[in-house]
Structure 1
Amino acid sequence: MGIPQHYSRDVPQRCEALIEELLPIVEGGLRADAKFGGPLKTTLLLALATPMVVLPVERIFKRVAFNDPGVADDRGIDEALARGVKSVLGEDHAFGGAPFGSRRWTYAERVGPFNVGQQWPEDLLDQLGTEAAREAAERAPTWRILQDLRNALAHGGVAYLDAVGRASEGAAEMLAFAGAVTRGHNVVGLNVLRVHKDDFRSFLSAWAAWLKEVGVAEALGDTPPLAA
């Protein structure tokens, strides 16, 4: 396997290819299914989502947003892609209208801190099932949704939920992501996302496709017209 030329763009493409190839195999059944209560579709998506989201957010968006090279900076490799990321993840762009966005996620902002490794608060799970929470996700800034998702994936703020949005020992139908809101070194709240696993699959595919295409579109937009 060749070394990626641009980690923020190329690794998500590779992960998307793995999902495309492996998901039918996982859905068809594995020997371990009986041990874990069913096909490991959600686990596959979650495992590959981490590099798909964390790498571009860390190596492009955070570097663009803070103009800080950090320890890894992909901006100079593809400046058109960096500009495209900045334009779509700008302050005024809502998640519901993003190329990879959705109107089916739900969102709760600045809920009180709790241990995400234990039972999640019932009132929060109720809130995530409301129309108000769906509208909150749709109108939230795209950068904030991506940042919260990145934080949840990077720090383990993830929960499997059933078809009615509750933790259970049955099949996982939804995922919840909790990203910390901090003040200094203190966690003062959590921003929480909820999404059905099929919608999360659609998001990952659209996210990878956008990262692949946005730099090309930006570069074409910068190309001077051909002389007549």
Structure 2
Amino acid sequence: MFSVSGCAPKVALPPPQYKDLDLTLEEIIATVRKDVDALKVIAGIDIEKDSKPHSYIDAVILLKKPDWLHVRLYKFGIPAGEFLITEFLITEDKRLKIENTLSGGSSKLDGRLKEFSKWLYQSFFWWEGLQTSDCRLQIVDCRKNILMLKDETEYVIKTEDREIHLDKTTLLLKRQEIVTTDKRISILYEEPKMEGDFWYSSLMKIESGNYRVFLRIEKLFINPSLKE
């Protein structure tokens, strides 16, 4: 049992403005995507292996629709790697110390970068790749094998490789379950913040096998110049 004394910092919550609405998938996507085409994220990334601290790295991440992601990594303020991924194919890889950061042999490096980048992209632009749909309760194959379920608290969108949980009252992303050929990845989204009128989760907890990754967003910029 743990006890906590003192006052915990208050986390602002988005208003429950959608709680009385019965939305289609098309309406949900139109609501959440707004006019956001690109994001710049400054974040700290903590990596645990077997429940023990493994490594820490800072990152500057640029994301642009569709399927474009550029990452610069820093260790103690010193550049530690840079890569660009388009359509989740690695087109540029200035590895430097990335191999040590991600752990493991270089033969597996490209696969890890591609996989991690796809999770990252889908955490910010989760609706990308989903077809518009009029699915409501438990309607299967209504559009491209997408199934959308709803209960009192959540919308749950299921595809062949993802399960997306949205808060019904705020449409904020709560959780994703991603299935690959050899593993299952769980991502939790916590500590919502707002930039302009765009709500996002400032803490992501990614778990896969014996690894856990904690990505904390320190700053977020909407539609920045990609040359920044």
TM-score (normalised: structure 1)? 0.27
More strand by share: 2
